[in-house]
Structure 1
Amino acid sequence: MTATTPRRTSTPQAAAGPHREGAATARAIVLPLTVILLVILAGLAIAASPAVTAWDLGVIRAIEGARTPFLDAVTLTDSVLFSPVAALTIVGLISAATWIARRRLGPALAFAALALLPWLGSTVVKDIVRRPRPLSADLPHHVLTDTGFSFPSGHTSFAVALALALLIVFGHGRLRRPLIAFAILAPLVTAFSRVYLGVHNPTDVLVSLVYATAAVLLVLGVLRAIAPALERFPLIGPGLDPRDRREPRSAR
């Protein structure tokens, strides 16, 4: 009799593993992308609705009635902190500090992508929807005048993206609770400030909260999908996937 080597057969569970992972990755990309497309459709409908515009104007006027020097200072400061120049500066400094501290480019790239791409995407949505900003003539007590289109709010989108990027990449250990608080407060304060200053409609900022959250999740899904391929490059190294918490080898 001759001995036969048993054949190795893959179990259904082992075969289903890659399939489930691929399905989860697809959902992580398709679902937020669907939300963004719905946001665009909602923006087009809102921009074409005189009733919504009239409601927005009434809310802005009511908020104008609550003006105080303190709120003026807070909202104007917020407007500067989340402006395009400040956004690029903040993301650049944090990304550089992350690269230096962790000695890996991956986490720095992940943070920059999560913070900037949703914000840049908001400008694309603005060009599609093309909703005008509130008219200064309708708001005699407005604090600020801005140009460009109104839907969605770029400031609010960046506040959401920055806060979630910080939470995703750095939100573990002692930093988790303060970053959760920042992720809640910063977008809400920015959304209020844009309406208070008279440069955005309430519906602009409310939908911006939804859009930017979905955009961050979309970027995160794409990062996790391409991370295994990109991490083969020595320059990037481990850590492009924000779930990776490993320390550099030199620190082990």
Structure 2
Amino acid sequence: MSSPSSPSSWKRVAAVSVVTWLVLMGLILAWGWLLTHPLESSIEPTDDRLARWFVGERTSQLTDAANAGTFLGETIVGASTFTLIGLVVSLVKRTWRPILLVAIIEAGLGGFYFFGTELIPRDRPPVKLLDAGLAPDASYPSGHVATSLVCWAGAVVLIWVYFRAARWVALLLLLLPVGTLLSRLYLGAHHLTDALTSVVYASVWLLVVARVLLPGGRESARPSM
């Protein structure tokens, strides 16, 4: 299998990844502080109204569907699935780049969630929580949404780069993280702003690392050497 082709290539991947992670981490903390301090009185009422609306729509069938959507965002499920996808693509295309992408993305994602929840405590919506065992002040950000997004959007990225014939069909996978997001709101686990924050940072993190690490253009049609 091949890897980034030169020491300078490795250095560029490392530098861009580290700088991007630090910038995103700073923005996550800054935005979280704004949400829980100066913007709390203006944004949280809207968040709470939406949470109460979801409560009014609850049914046993929708709850089952929401539990399924949540399952897709469980750390063990999302990380394992993304790892398996990356490993398969690496083996088929004989390049380390896909599995290295998974490793960098998942490591960074864990850091975002850990520091975000530890440094920015935020109470969950004031509704009955249908996901037992969650810390009451760990609403920000949504780990499930970020995990589901990088898994399935990451799969789309790998298919887009390495399997051109399936590009447009692969876009259907993007419906899965949307389902996870709606599920977390439905269950009362997060405010909308928590979930959307995860969408933004997970998307940027995935796209930047993929851009610097994966081949593009004509290179994607053949194994990286």
Fold agreement, TM-score > 0.5: yes
Contact 1:95 1:111 in 2 (8 A): yes
TM-aligned CA deviation for residue 210 of structure 1: 1.0
1:102 is the counterpart of 2:102? no
**Gapped runs of 5+ residues in structure 2?**
1-14
One-letter code aligned to 1:196: Y
* Corresponding residue number in structure 1 for 2:197: 207
Q: 1:165 aligns with which of 154, 161, 164?
A: 154
One-letter code aligned to 1:182: L
Q: 2:73 aligns with which of 65, 77, 82?
A: 82
Contact 1:169 1:242 in 2 (8 A): no
- Looking at structure 2, the residues matched to 62 and 216 of structure 1 have their Cα atoms a distance apart, in angstroms, of 32
Which runs of 4 or more aligned residues in structure 1 lie more than 6 Å from their structure 2 counterparts after TM superposition? 26-32
> Which secondary structure state, in structure 1, belongs to the residue aligned with residue 122 of structure 2?
coil
- Distance 1:53-1:145 versus aligned 2 partners, 3 A rule: farther
* Corresponding residue number in structure 1 for 2:6: none
- Looking at structure 2, the residues matched to 206 and 193 of structure 1 have their Cα atoms a distance apart, in angstroms, of 13
- Looking at structure 2, the residues matched to 110 and 61 of structure 1 have their Cα atoms a distance apart, in angstroms, of 39
- Looking at structure 1, the residues matched to 41 and 132 of structure 2 have their Cα atoms a distance apart, in angstroms, of 22
- Looking at structure 2, the residues matched to 248 and 202 of structure 1 have their Cα atoms a distance apart, in angstroms, of 41
Q: 2:34 aligns with which of 31, 34, 45?
A: 45
* 1:3-60 Cα deviation digits (max 9, x unpaired): xxxxxxxxxxxxxxxxxxxxxxx99986786455333211111122244333322211
Q: Given the two structures, how large is their TM-score scaled by the length of structure 2? A: 0.76
Q: Given the two structures, how large is their TM-score scaled by the length of structure 1? A: 0.69
* Corresponding residue number in structure 2 for 1:20: none
- Looking at structure 1, the residues matched to 171 and 22 of structure 2 have their Cα atoms a distance apart, in angstroms, of 24
Contact 1:168 1:242 in 2 (8 A): no
Q: 1:195 aligns with which of 185, 188, 192?
A: 185
Contact 1:152 1:208 in 2 (8 A): yes
Contact 1:79 1:194 in 2 (8 A): yes
Contact 2:79 2:147 in 1 (8 A): no
- Looking at structure 1, the residues matched to 207 and 115 of structure 2 have their Cα atoms a distance apart, in angstroms, of 17
* Corresponding residue number in structure 2 for 1:147: 134
- Looking at structure 2, the residues matched to 27 and 102 of structure 1 have their Cα atoms a distance apart, in angstroms, of 24
Contact 1:159 1:186 in 2 (8 A): yes
> Which secondary structure state, in structure 1, belongs to the residue aligned with residue 195 of structure 2?
helix
Contact 2:82 2:152 in 1 (8 A): no
Contact 1:133 1:147 in 2 (8 A): no
TM-aligned CA deviation for residue 106 of structure 1: 2.7
> Which secondary structure state, in structure 1, belongs to the residue aligned with residue 151 of structure 2?
helix
Q: How many residues align?
A: 204
Flag the structure with more relative contact order, 1 or 2, with Cα contacts below 8 A and sequence separation at least 6: 2
How much identity, in percent, do the aligned residues show? 23
**Gapped runs of 5+ residues in structure 1?**
1-25, 225-240
Structure with the greater alpha carbon radius of gyration: 1
